Structures are given as structure tokens and as C-alpha cells.
Structure 1
């Protein structure tokens, strides 16, 4: 276990590295620049297709949320938005080589299940009728259980999804009331029966560090989850970023747990899940031994994109649809406008609506691979990475902010072990994998951007 002084030393704001460079580095970017990147993407080494739909609507806004979410619009607005999604698909389809295959479709939000399941099914059909899929693609959706009836779950289970991420957040009703979130409309056992009856995999998502939570109360929630035996559980550290979402200031008034209490929640939950047979993957995932993520981690083949962790077999470039959606291509990122009216109006004219983005130079493309390897697999094998990128080890290291003095300090603090060919997280150091990744990031030098803390 890390000493309190070490925890205090490293519990400083650093990027989450769900992408590299991080989204807060994005700047002005045009439709034409995105179209050029899409054309280049057809000849990239990774030629599988991943599609993301952003459904921004929520029937009820939670105080903790840092996502691009909006209160549920009128039925007319929702209908117009879904039509705009279909139009964006139609704009993009001629630009993507037809020989490429879909490996992944993901719905995020907001609450994707805030809209009619009929709309969701039609969007799936639009893409799946245009491209073939790889064997066993992952078609996933984030679900808010607070509004879904048995009939809704049944329709979703029959709409082609292979994975459901259910946003429980906490089973404690007092915690949910404090953060303004609705509890599940029907009991979770019934939901599991419906989804597993169709062969789907199930994730349960939780957040620790919320008001009213204690080490014991969160342990009670995790114990309940263990009894349900989902395929994966995710324990997200609450990211308090009121400068992004002012609604979070409400939680300051309710009182947030201190650092030690929050760390205690994670430690207790982690121990319970491991005792129950779950394996730790990445920063916050716990999966059953036969899960693809665990198998990928054992082979050091774990990957991550904006959709989350995935095995390399479904690794793909991401093409995003909807407001604030971020496309994640080999040479660039491109983000759609966050304005719903602007998005709908632009799509009605047959035009894309890119607002921000970033073009990566070769050095940054190499650094992205380095940081992704550390964040996903808790290690960097410089020789293997250099061979995959067709460069030398020295070229790989020089593209980053590799600094042996910094690495030695983290090794002395028991976060990592390292030598000339390998950097590897220790078991106790994994909560601070973001700090190790940041030490390799040239863009962190003199950065004025604001980030959340690891704990």
C-alpha cells in the first residue's frame, strides 16, 4: 500500500487520457480538414469501422454529470434530431470505402435510452445495411435504468445490441436523491433475465466520491452488484469539474467526501471485487476472467478509444454522429458542434457541422501509442512498440518526454519498475497510471489546461 505522503504527492490534476492529445487541446477545425482526414483514413493501417452516436437528451439531469447533456426536448425536437443523424450518416457513407467492416457501434449521451427504442433500432439498421461486420462485433449502448420498462428492455434486447452498460451509479437511494438521479424502474434481476435471455453481455457502472457516500455504503452497493454477477463493473472516480459543468457546484453544498474517504471507497470496492473473482482492467474496470478485456490484458493487447476499453480485435477508427461527437481517426480528431439547432439546420442543408478538432503530427501519433499502451496495459515494451510502428526504440522514446530522472523518482516511490526496454506499473501504483503517462507527454510542459485529480 502506498504511503499517505506518496498519495498526496501524486494526487494532482492530470489528464484522463481517453485520447491523446486530450480534447481540451482541440482548436478551430473545418469541414474540409475533416473530409481530408476521412479520405486518408481509408488507407490507414487500421481499416475497421467504429461508429459512435451521441444522444444528448436526458429526462432528468443529474448534478454530477460532466457530459454534453440536455434536458429532454419536445417530441418534435427529438424527431428532428434523429432525422439529422440519419442525414449525417448519408453524408458520410459515400466517403468510406465499402470494403471496410464494422467492428463496433456505440451509443452514448446524455441518456441514449431517453429516446424511443424505435429510433435506436432504425439507426442501427441504417449502418448495418451499409457495411458488413467482423465476426462478433460489439454493438453497445449506455442505459439509464430509471425510465425503462420491461417492454423497453425487451425491445432493446431485440435491436441487435451485444452489450449493455447500465448506469446504476449507486444502489443507495439517499445518494441517488442527493445527486438528483432516479433509481431503476424495475428490479435489476429482471433486467438481467431479459438481456441475458438474448445472449447480451452486461456492464454495471458506478461512481464513487459522491455526497452522502461512505466507505461502508459504497461497499454495500458493490456487494449488491456482486450478487448480480455482471460481466463487467466500472467504478468511476467522480470528477469534480464545476468549471465545465456549473451544476456540480450543487454537490459542494451537499458536501463531498474527503480524499482519504474517497480512496477508501475505491480500495474497499477493489478488494471486494477481486475476492469475488473479478480481474482489474485499466483505471476503473473489473471483469470476469473469461471476459475479452481480461484476455486482451493478459496478452498486452488492450486498447482504448472514446467508446472505452476494447480488445485489439475490434480496434478501429471512430466516426461520430450527433452533437459534440468526436471522430477519432489515425491522423486527426474532429468534433461536431454542441449546438442542437445548428446541427439540425446544417444537416438539413447536407453539410457537416465540425466545430473543433486536431491534426496530429508524426511525433504525436507515436506518443499516442506510448500513452495508450501505458494507460491500457500498465506497461510500455519499447521494442514491441517500435516494431509495430516501424521505427527504432530511440525514435519512440525521443517522440515523448522520456526522462530517466522522473522515472527513477516514480520507481523510488513504488509506482513503477523500469529499465531501458520496459516501464511497468506496480500493483499499488496503478491508481496513478495517469501521472506516469503525463510524465511522457511533451504537451504537459507548461500546460495551463485544467484537469481532474486521479483520486
Structure 2
């Protein structure tokens, strides 16, 4: 796929990443703990019925300069011990509010670096979850890992705790790139770590990469992808680096090395796309690739792919998200709620028997409709107005009137051969995948709000 330079120049504008709708920078501090606890109880009467659990582990032994996550840099095992005990208490406080007949379909450990914790700490919490909750037949139990902190024993421990997916944040194979962004270089090769993980039956592997970092070129990133494809993981992810130094000041240091231009980033995307397609991987959304037999690829085929803050998932594993830990964002049917900002305040409040929600957002009916529309575009590259109307018990015309939507808003994208549409359906072409965020923004009633900043789309 070749992306015309004219389209890059036209569409390389600041737009949300749409990991949620509305985006997280719309959350307000007028939404607090009382509102969240009420929403948790109300969620038992909402769809989806399944429960998705997110556990945020903020700890990293050092700060990677590209990082946009909520992290706490430390090697203090005593602090980690205290934090894990607080997580247990928070789970114990929320569990009684959830209907015991509801089942867990997804558990995701994110960070930070979850495997900065001793594996036994992870095992303690997994033991609580498996004893306190019911599960669907094939839940996805996943953990994000820094490969520099993985070895055979740690992997075996994760498998024994019930994990069936490990995402390794490789970012790049080149040491000069890793050194520039202060990412630790693994002692054990990614190839060997992959084999160790796959030696445990039922275990799947994601390899995650970032393009747009210092010293990367289209040629070097293609070589990185060729090596990744030789490993043959179940899924591959190529994240576009989001440069937001006004949010994450450490990113400013990367400017000293120089960052690849938008043109060079596009070439990286094009090279990766071509290599993945040639190797038989199915493109998922803007940045994921999966083998044809993978559940995620199958879900895309049936247009039933979904996405939440944890990433892409199938309808079977989709659930309302209940987040535990510092800065964790719960993603319920009607609200978003974010936990305490710092490890210190999180622990202090939990030890007093209090859950601290510092900000959140209650969605209006139009926003819930827009959320589904954007989800369909970002996940399935497809939209059926009638299906959305049916889901919300209304009509297509009422939705379009509510959103002040006209098909004319799609005409520029159609003229650029990014999509086609008729009165009911919108189908996005392969070229349009690169501009999914721009297309989604057409349906965003908050688009144009100049009080909030977003990264460039390219």
C-alpha cells in the first residue's frame, strides 16, 4: 500500500487516538468516588454482562523516554509489597458490589511494567481473582512484559497462574535505538523468550514495536519487522510513537537526537504493512496484525471486533472494565472513572478503607451512540447505521439528526478513495485505515474543541 504524500499533508492534523470516547482529557474532577461506586452497582443491570478486570502496575526500574503511561520509577520491593496489598484490599472493596453471577471474560495487567513485580506477588492476586470470580470458558488473561525482566522461571510462573497471553514490549531490536530511548536491552534474545513462552500449552505471544523513534528509518524498521516475522508470533503490533511533550516532559529529550519526519514514519508503516500482508498476517485496525486463525482476525472477518483501554478484543471477551490500582480507568457502560494519581495517595486511601476516584465522566445518550460508531470504525472499518439504531432502540434518521450528521461530511474521504458509503453502510478501504482517526473525528460532536490538545494523526 502506497500512501500519497498529498493525503499525508492533508490529514496530518491533531486528532484523538480514540481509545475511549470521549477521550480521557475530557474527564473532570467533578466526578468522584461516590459517583463511581453508584455506577459500579448500576453496571450490574447494563450490557455487556461480562466483567473485564484491569490491574495497573505503575512500577518501572527506569523511565523509557517515549513512554506515555502512568509510571513510578523504583526498585523498592517494600513499596511494591505495600502496593500489592493495597490492590488486594481494593478488589475486596469492589467485589461485593458486583453481581456474583457475572463472569470474568478478560484480565489484563498493564503498566508501567507488571513484570517489575516478583512473580509471587502476581500469583497472590491471580489466586484471589480465580477464587472470588466465575470465568467464561475461554477468558483472555494477558500481561504486558518488558522482555529485559523475563526468564524461564518467570514465564513458567505466569503460565501456572493462568495467563494465556504475554505481550512483550520489544519496541526495536536495534541497541542504538533502545539506548537512545533508555529502554533496557534484554539479556535473553526475543527468539529464545518466544520459545520459552510457547513451550507452555495454550500460551499466545504478542510482539509490540514502536516506529517513529530516534535513529529509526524505513529501511531499519523493515529489517526489524523481518526479524519479528521470522519469530512468527501470534500477533504483531506496530505503534506509531505519539510525541506529546506537553504531557510527558521526558519526551523532550528525544528531540535532541532528532525524530523521524512524518514522511519517514509513513514509509515505516508502508513497509511494515507490506511485509505483514506478504507473511499472511491480517491487519487489525491501524496498528495490529494477527495470524488468520487468531480469534482477533476471526472477529474482524465477522465484523465483531471490539476495543477498550486494554486494546482490541473479541465480542466474547468484551466486558465492562473495572480497573484496580493507581490511575486505573474503569470503563463502564455509562461512565469512566480514574483512580488516584500517585502511588502514595492511592495506598494511603486504600489503607483507610477508601477508594479514591479523582476524575471521571458520565456519558450522555448521544455520546454512547457516538462511542459505538467510532468503535465500529476503529475496529471493523465498517459502519451500519441500522445496526447502531437497532442497538439503541431508535431510527437511523433520529441518530443522524441528533449528531447533526450529513453524508457530505464523508465526501472528502470518498473523493480521496479512503471509503465508500450508501444510505446505511460505510466501508473503509485499506488506504483509509491509515486515516481512521480522521474519519472517526467526523462523528465526534466534540471535534474542534481547542481547549484540548492531541497528537498528530501521522
User: Per-residue deviation at 1:401?
Assistant: 4.9
Could you tell which deviates more after superposition, 182-191 or 130-139? Answer: 182-191
| Alignment partner of 2:321 out of 318, 324, 332 | 318
Aligned to 1:8: 9
Aligned-partner SS, 1:89: helix
How many Å separate the matches in 1 of 2:44 and 2:75? 36
Point out where structure 2 has 5 or more consecutive residues left out of the alignment.
none
User: Per-residue deviation at 1:73?
Assistant: 4.7
Aligned to 2:227: 224
Q: Give the conservation status (yes or no) of the 8 Å contact 1:144–1:167.
A: yes
Q: Give the conservation status (yes or no) of the 8 Å contact 1:300–1:377.
A: yes
| Alignment partner of 2:175 out of 173, 176, 180 | 173
Q: Give the conservation status (yes or no) of the 8 Å contact 1:41–1:329.
A: yes
Runs of 4 or more off by more than 6 Å in structure 1?
none
How many Å separate the matches in 2 of 1:149 and 1:313? 31
| Alignment partner of 1:306 out of 304, 309, 312 | 309
Deviations 1:287-307 (A, max 9, x none): 000011111111110000011
User: Per-residue deviation at 1:425?
Assistant: 1.2
- Is 1:140 the counterpart of 2:148 in the alignment? no
Q: Give the conservation status (yes or no) of the 8 Å contact 1:302–1:310.
A: yes
User: Per-residue deviation at 1:147?
Assistant: 2.0
Aligned to 2:128: 126
Computed over aligned residues only, the root mean square deviation of the Cα atoms, in angstroms, reads 1.1
Q: Give the conservation status (yes or no) of the 8 Å contact 2:400–2:406.
A: no
Aligned-partner SS, 1:82: helix
Deviations 1:173-193 (A, max 9, x none): 111111111122212232222
Deviations 1:116-155 (A, max 9, x none): 1111111111111111100110000000011222222222
- Is 1:113 the counterpart of 2:107 in the alignment? no
Aligned to 1:90: 92
Aligned to 1:257: 260
How many Å separate the matches in 1 of 2:161 and 2:192? 18
Aligned to 1:213: 216
Aligned to 1:43: 45
Aligned-partner SS, 2:55: strand
Aligned-partner SS, 1:153: helix
How many Å separate the matches in 2 of 1:311 and 1:79? 34
How many Å separate the matches in 1 of 2:420 and 2:14? 23
How many Å separate the matches in 1 of 2:8 and 2:191? 38
Aligned-partner SS, 1:290: coil
How many Å separate the matches in 1 of 2:305 and 2:346? 34
- Is 1:413 the counterpart of 2:391 in the alignment? no
Aligned to 1:451: 454
Aligned to 1:334: 337
Aligned-partner SS, 1:428: helix
Could you tell which deviates more after superposition, 216-225 or 390-399? Answer: 390-399
How many Å separate the matches in 1 of 2:443 and 2:402? 9
Write the mapping of 1:9-408 to structure 2, written as runs, cut at 5 A.
9-28=10-29, 29-198=31-200, 199-408=202-411
How many Å separate the matches in 1 of 2:362 and 2:390? 24
Cα distance change, pair 6–157 in 1 and its aligned pair in 2 (3 A): same
Q: Give the conservation status (yes or no) of the 8 Å contact 1:98–1:131.
A: yes
Q: Give the conservation status (yes or no) of the 8 Å contact 1:401–1:439.
A: no
Point out where structure 1 has 5 or more consecutive residues left out of the alignment.
none
Q: Give the conservation status (yes or no) of the 8 Å contact 1:331–1:359.
A: yes
Deviations 1:161-210 (A, max 9, x none): 01010000000111111111112221223222222122200000000000
Q: Give the conservation status (yes or no) of the 8 Å contact 1:50–1:104.
A: yes
Q: Give the conservation status (yes or no) of the 8 Å contact 2:437–2:457.
A: yes
How many Å separate the matches in 2 of 1:17 and 1:401? 20
How many Å separate the matches in 2 of 1:324 and 1:446? 25
Output the TM-score relative to the length of structure 1.
Answer: 0.98
Q: Give the conservation status (yes or no) of the 8 Å contact 1:282–1:378.
A: yes
Aligned-partner SS, 2:360: strand
How many Å separate the matches in 2 of 1:165 and 1:361? 34
User: Per-residue deviation at 1:400?
Assistant: 3.0
How many Å separate the matches in 2 of 1:192 and 1:446? 44
Number of aligned positions between the proteins: 455
